[in-house]
A and B are shown apart, each in its own frame.
Chain A
Amino acid sequence: MTPQVDRRQFLTRAALGGVTIVGATALGSLAPEAAFGAAGPAVAPGGVDPAFAEGRITAIAGSMLLTAGSDGTLNRIQTTSGTSVWKLTPAGLGDVRIGDGLYARGVRMPDGSLAADALWVNIVSLDAHVVSLASDRVHLDHHGSRLVGHVVPNVSAAVYNGTPAVTDLSMVPVGGHVHVVGAWRPDTTEIDVSTVYAKV
């Protein structure tokens, strides 16, 4: 049994009640008010949020990602086993490539690097009109530019009229307005579709 499966089994039993709680929280209050009441890092209006970074990945050195931001800012982003990576689906650092774009949120370290809690790789969120549907893709018009949205089996989902997401994208309205969240294929006008929000 792999460590991951072993860990998943343990966490499953913990979540579903198969494990006895052995540690009562001597942690102080876990109420949300305590967290929201804590002083966060001060960010002046219009200032740079030190807990955030964005850019294209220029190099990967072990668990460190080097990025060049859209405003020219260079960032070193340190990842750990506790860093979540989104790349169309929850993924791992091994799925990240040079040339990918990312948004990162975490804690700024004294050496200037960002200790990342979460990375969203190549994520795009855009409004578009549906031009047409094909067997494995959705053709979109985004402010006059054509985009191809690839439908990924078991991953791509549609939310119709705010109801729970389903994998059936056949009701996406041709000619209609949609909001699309997906993963950009770098240096192309193509994305892999995560979720299409549509009104039908």
Chain B
Amino acid sequence: MTWTAQAQPLFLAGVLGWSGLAKAIDDDPRGRVADTALHRLLGGRLAADVFVALGIGEAVLALALLAAPGRPVALAAVALTVGFLAYLTYAAVATPQASCGCLGKKKVRLSWRSFARAGMLLAAALVTAFGAPAWWQSPPLLPLFLLLAGEAALFVALSAELDRLWLTPLRRLRVRVAPPLTGTPDVVPLQASISALVRSPAYRAMSAWLASDVLDHWDADGWRLLVYGVRLPDRRATAVFAVPLAQARLDAIRVTLVDEEDTVLALP
């Protein structure tokens, strides 16, 4: 099964090449590191420089893994992936709210997936370091391809930065196939009445005197009644707004003032 070991430099080269190029040619490295643990560790300017240098280093290591996948290069890959794990541990302790800034432009918070992904890279580097024939020395092509495809799929699954490429579309598809929030009763939500109310001339006329939010509400004869507390210059009162349950013109909304002695007050 030496071919499984032969596959690991290819897998590492693919990941490091992609990740390294993305870092090295980023047009806004300072923006990329702004919310990351690297920024906390090194400060703004140095973090951006280290970010770009790390990208170049990853890309060079990827080329070396392809061209000369011997033990020295493999040990360099082990050192790099151990460094990743150490950085993630620091980030989890020092800035658990921050992004690791590992892959892609999307910033995501650290989670167990970040550690699992770094562990996967370390395992691949260790397998490479224990030695195997170079990848071009007659490996069985189909198994090699299937293994690389599986590892790539696992890597993508562990990369929260890439969820939008596969997980979100899958979730959209599931919702489309079996919509989970259908069958709700056809009632007019209170928020619909309040939204219409606050845009109405009646509410505008009264709003300056309203002291409370909705005190009570109920439906009667195709109307929704909404009661608010009112503070008038010399007394407290109640404003009763009547909002049509059916959508209607905003000027159909009515308001009446009733004082504490149940005297219905005329409006100006």
Contact = CB atoms under 8 A, between A and B. Distances in A.
Interface of A: 8, 10-12, 14-16, 19-25, 27-32, 34-36, 82-84, 86, 89-90, 117-118, 120, 131-135, 138, 144-145, 151, 153-157, 159, 164-170, 172, 174-175, 194-195
A84 B192 contact: no
A15 B240 contact: yes
Contact of B234 (A12, A27, A157, A166): A27
Nearest to B194: A165
Contact of B208 (A32, A138, A194): A32
A14 B232 contact: no
A167 B185 contact: yes
Nearest to B205: A32
B259 A135 contact: no
Given A14-B240, A90-B217, A170-B182, A25 B175 contact: no
Contact of B233 (A28, A154, A165, A174): A28
Contact of B180 (A29, A133, A144, A165): A133
Interface of B: 97, 99, 107-109, 164, 168, 171-172, 174-175, 179-182, 184-187, 189-192, 195-196, 204-209, 211-218, 220-221, 223, 225, 227-229, 231-236, 238, 240-242, 247, 254-259, 262-268
B240 A11 contact: yes
A188 to B, nearest CB: 18
Given A82-B236, A133-B180, A164-B192, A25 B268 contact: yes
12 contacts: A12-B223, A22-B264, A27-B232, A27-B234, A31-B268, A32-B206, A35-B208, A84-B212, A84-B215, A89-B190, A118-B229, A154-B187
A1 to B, nearest CB: 14
Contact of B264 (A23, A135, A156, A195): A23
Contacts of A32: 204-209
Nearest to B241: A15
A24 to B, nearest CB: 5
B81 to A, nearest CB: 24
Nearest to A151: B181
**6 nearest interchain CB pairs?**
A35-B208, A144-B109, A157-B189, A84-B212, A23-B263, A165-B192
A162 to B, nearest CB: 9
Contacts of A166: 189, 192
A10 B240 CA distance: 11
Contacts of B266: 21, 23-25
A90 B213 CA distance: 8
B212 A118 contact: yes
Nearest to B261: A23
A15 B213 contact: no
Given A32-B208, A164-B192, A170-B182, A25 B267 contact: yes
